[in-house]
Amino acid sequence: MLIDIHVHVCQKRHPKITRAGGTFYPDPDTLIAMMDAHGIDKALCQCTVSPECRYTALSPEEMLEIAAEYPERLIPCCNMDPRWLGNSTSSNFVPLLEAYREMGARCVGEYIPNLPFDDPLNMNFFEDVEAVGLPLTFHIAPKIGGCYGCYDEVGLPRLERVLKAFPNLMFLGHSQAFWAEISTDVIQDGQRVGYPKGPVTPGRLLALFRTYPNLLGDLSAGSGFNAISRDPEFGYGFMEEFQDRLYFGTDIANDPQTLDIVPYFENLKVERLISEAAWEKIAWRNAQKLLGLASD
């Protein structure tokens, strides 16, 4: 089985409503076809509501409607922006979060407001998410302005403050600026927004994973895949060590899209490059447990 921790989908939009480069999020039927073609059984569908989102907002209501069309295949996220409800550090998001959870949402994400990670508005929101008991998928940005995602510096000090402040909130880490920190060669913004190559010298992420059990790894997109594949032997050891806290994912966001992590995971299993237990946990068992999915 494969459970994908990170995909995007939306109902069909006007043809001029496109992402950078003229591509689209897949519509529900196309997403299911892509999943079928790559052997993906279920997928957690992210929604984007913050003004930094690239081309179209995807509300929790639309996501819940889409997931209801394919209840055996698509798992809905809900999402909010911390500037909602009056742009206040005392806003109460608990009723909204509880409502979306009751309607079927299993996670908050993809969380992308371009504010400092530990901004008081974010801290207020995280406190409410922790209280409701949903996990949260975040995207880290390398700067304020001109991009999306929660801002943090090299070394991720703001992320650490958040992890420490909310020990019962499960944070799924994602993006280039997050995964580049797997190695100590992250010293320039250019490396934080790309896909560093070559051997890994264990970096800041290793310390954070070892210190904070509420930090989880979303292996989707070029960023997550690059982190585990750029230095194969390191990647195998990383997956073994953190097998209980890593999650297979693709970040399907384009129609069409190449999904390099799928054959990579197939090869991991065929060549027995990691243990069978680790493979099953990362491929689907961890997601099943985190999202509270029924056992088949």
In the chain, the percentage of residues whose pLDDT exceeds 90 is 88
Report residue 99 as tokens. Answer: 């409502």
Indicate if the pLDDT at residue 135 is higher than 90.
Answer: yes
For β-strands 107-111 and 74-78, DSSP reports them as: parallel
In a domain, 295, yes or no: no
Indicate if the pLDDT at residue 55 is higher than 90.
Answer: no
Q: Which residues contact 250 (CB under 8 A, 6 or more apart)?
A: 4, 6, 7, 38, 40, 220, 221, 257, 259, 261, 262
Total number of domains in the chain: 1
Cα(165)–Cα(266) distance, integer angstroms: 38
Question: In which residue are the tokens 């940005």 written?
Answer: 141
In a domain, 158, yes or no: yes
At position 248, the amino acid (one-letter code) is F
In a domain, 296, yes or no: no
Domain that holds residue 49: 3-290
In this prediction, residue 286 carries a pLDDT of 98
**Confidence label for 36 from pLDDT (cuts 50, 70 and 90):** very high
Cβ burial, residue 197 (10 Å; 0-12/13-18/19+): exposed
Cα(152)–Cα(141) distance, integer angstroms: 7
For β-strands 246-247 and 107-111, DSSP reports them as: unpaired
In a domain, 273, yes or no: yes
Residue 268, classed as helix, strand or coil, is helix
Cβ burial, residue 210 (10 Å; 0-12/13-18/19+): exposed
Residue 66, classed as helix, strand or coil, is helix
- pTM value is 0.96
Buried b (16+ CB within 10 A) or exposed e, 285-296: bbbbebbeeeee
In this prediction, residue 189 carries a pLDDT of 56
In the chain, the percentage of residues whose pLDDT exceeds 70 is 98
In a domain, 107, yes or no: yes
Question: In which residue are the tokens 């901004």 written?
Answer: 119
Contact predicate 101/78, CB 8 Å: yes
Contact predicate 51/83, CB 8 Å: no
Q: What is the tens place of the pLDDT at every residue in 140-195?
A: 999 999 999 999 999 999 999 999 999 999 999 999 999 999 999 886 656 687 88
We report the CATH number of the domain holding residue 28 as 3.20.20.140
Report residue 67 as tokens. Answer: 């997931």
Report residue 288 as tokens. Answer: 């099943």
Cα(25)–Cα(262) distance, integer angstroms: 19
In a domain, 75, yes or no: yes
Span 277-294, average pLDDT: 97
Indicate if the pLDDT at residue 21 is higher than 80.
Answer: no
Span 273-295, average pLDDT: 96
Indicate if the pLDDT at residue 214 is higher than 70.
Answer: yes
In a domain, 235, yes or no: yes
Cα(67)–Cα(45) distance, integer angstroms: 8
Cα(153)–Cα(158) distance, integer angstroms: 8
